[in-house]
Amino acid sequence: MRSFLLPFVLLFAQTLAFAQVDKRTRATLPPPAQPPTTKATTLPAKTGPKKDPVWTRPPKLVVGIVVDQMRVDYIYRFWNNFGSGGFKRLVQEGAFQRNAHFDYVPTQTAPGHASVYSGTTPMNHGIVANDMYDRQRNLVYYCVQDDAAIGVGATGYKGQRSPINLLSGTLADEFERISAGRSKTIGVAMKDRGSILPIGRTGDAAYWFFEGTDGHFGTSNWYMNEVPQWVKDFNAQGLAKRYLQERWDLMLPKESYHTALPDDNPYEEPLAGAAKATLPMDVKAMYEAAGLSTVLLRFIPASNTYTTDMALAAMKGEAMGQDEVTDLLAISYSAPDELGHEVGPRSYELEDMYLRLDRELERLFLALDEQVGQGNHTVFLTADHAVVDVPSYLRDQQASAGYVDVQEVVDLVNQKLGERYGSGTWVRKRIKEQIFLNDSLITAKKLVAAEVQRAAADILLGHPLIADAVTAADLARNTYTSGIRKNIQRGYMPRRSGDVCYVLRPSHLASYSNSGQRGTDHSSAWTYDTHVPVLMMGAGIRPGEVVRRTSITDIAPTIAMIVGCALPDAATGDPVPEVLR
């Protein structure tokens, strides 16, 4: 064995010795010969100038615009009456998502604003309706109600408002976090919920219309203890009262408008103080008949002018977009919804309001160009929901449409549950298309809540004008990935939603004993309520059209990609790559 290993031992020793000599003499030995090089390997690599990612140069100002109750087809219908600087500029210079939808119910103002800016649906952000029900207190409460809050800058009950009921973050929160609080985040709207919910819980300020005889914009002590001087100066102008002295008439020749209905028709509800829902309107007389209450301003085009005035005052007063930190100005135009409920989408009044809103957008965009600079701002415009045509009008056109007496629905559920389980008031509360059952009665009779819920749902499913009904127990245990139930589930939150959620047939609205069959409403999962425009323009936006289906919850993630900030904490939407530059 030793003789066998000896040659290997000697070879190892010689190699080691050679290595030691080489290590000691390496500096003096000539370099080893190298293979000949080619021209390609000797030339430096060709590299162009390095470009920083787009998100390292974010816009100085993001302006989010929500038009309350806007259908996407308004852009198509009113196109030839629009000017060049408003809606047309958004379409021609920006990105138009033509098939964007809300993918939850109820499609209402408060959930809509919260969803646009949080990038998620009510099941996560908690704003499940404009008015919500507290089972423990047996109390209906408003979505931004805060009894501990106090009005600042204006007086009245509307001071008791804050984002306290919002359970997830928004774009404004993320702007504040990425800038260590240096970002200016401000919301402006006639409706309190339209200004509060976009700005979230940590944004700088939300200003809304307090109505009354003053017609001032104010806020609450959630945000500050005293309004800035620019707000005091703005209110001192008395613009609300001044706008209520003006007459409202068509801005274009009557034959230019897009409606087959006469101005005076049976499907529209007159505004308070007016005998008919027709133009021209003597706004001054209506204002005086209302005891000089500025509430009338909410329903007329001057409301949008007043909102733009306030937004521009905020932009200037807070020097928004004047440094390298991205600011957020959230504007909500509330008047189209207030008017739309009364007159519907086929009226002269509504089209005229949109033509005048178009001019307000142009005024806003020109101010952005001048004060912030083209290429330094990003704008998005969408809606918080759309709306159905007046059902009585559709019915008269022989469409499948109509009304459902909601008290008869409640009485039916009470009657049938009483026959099955014994007498009692089984329906504790109904809010829109949600029924809250009597928990105390279910417990007293030693019943299983899920079984009573399912029995109530079966009763509703037997109604000829109810398309679907689903129980809270099923929503908690199942995952629905398509259809109406998916939308119901995404809008459902335990402790804030009902025991049974139901959906009326398409183009059917709830009716009440004191309501006529004029005007319209929204809240459903049908496309006339879910389909809204999404338009984006400016820094970081690639112009063009997107016709594939997108979600309203995609807006916040898309803006986050442009700004270079985190997505809001509960965001479920995705960025839309086609619109990103």
Give the chain's end-to-end CA distance (angstroms, integer): 76
pLDDT in tens, 113-159: 999 999 999 999 999 999 999 998 999 999 999 999 999 999 999 99
pLDDT in tens, 366-413: 999 999 999 999 999 999 999 999 999 999 999 999 999 999 999 999
Q: How many helices (H) and strands (E) does the chain have?
A: 22, 19
The C-alpha angle with vertex 426 and arms to 424 and 432, in degrees rounded to 5, equals: 145
CA-CA distance, 76 to 233, in Å (whole number)? 40
Q: CB neighbours of 413 closer than 8 A, spacing ≥ 6? A: 426, 427, 435, 456, 459, 460
230-245 in b/e form (b: 16+ CB < 10 A) is: ebeebbeeebbeebbe
Residue 261 tokens read as 């209905």
The β-bridge relationship of strands 544-546 and 95-101 is parallel
pLDDT in tens, 296-341: 999 999 999 999 999 999 999 999 999 999 999 999 999 999 999 9
Per the CB < 8 A criterion, the answer to whether 438 and 426 are in contact is yes
The β-bridge relationship of strands 139-142 and 550-551 is unpaired
Q: Which of 110, 131, 134 is nearest to 122 (CA)?
A: 110
Centre a 10 Å sphere on the Cβ of residue 516 and count the other Cβ atoms it contains: 11
* Structural domains of the chain sorted by starting position, each given as residue range(s) with its CATH number in brackets: 61-390+520-579 (3.40.720.10), 396-511 (3.30.1360.150)
pLDDT in tens, 253-264: 999 999 989 999
Compute CA 241 distance to the chain's CA centroid, rounded to the nearest angstrom. 30
Compute CA 26 distance to the chain's CA centroid, rounded to the nearest angstrom. 73
**What is the chain's mean pLDDT, rounded?**
92
Look up 219 and say whether it is catalytic.
no
CA-CA distance, 538 to 545, in Å (whole number)? 15
> Which among 28, 47, 107, 109 is annotated as catalytic?
109
Per the CB < 8 A criterion, the answer to whether 105 and 524 are in contact is yes
CA-CA distance, 303 to 294, in Å (whole number)? 10
Pick the more confident residue, 48 or 359. 359
Band the pLDDT of 512: cuts 50, 70, 90: confident
E strand or H helix that includes residue 199: helix 192-199
DSSP output for 221-270 = TTT-SS--HHHHHHHHT-HHHHHTTS-B--SS-GGGS--SS-SS-TT-PP
Strand partners, 550: 100
Per the CB < 8 A criterion, the answer to whether 556 and 113 are in contact is no
Decide if pLDDT at 36 tops 60: no
CA-CA distance, 131 to 108, in Å (whole number)? 10
Cα 263 to Cα 36, 280, 352, distances in angstroms: 90, 10, 12
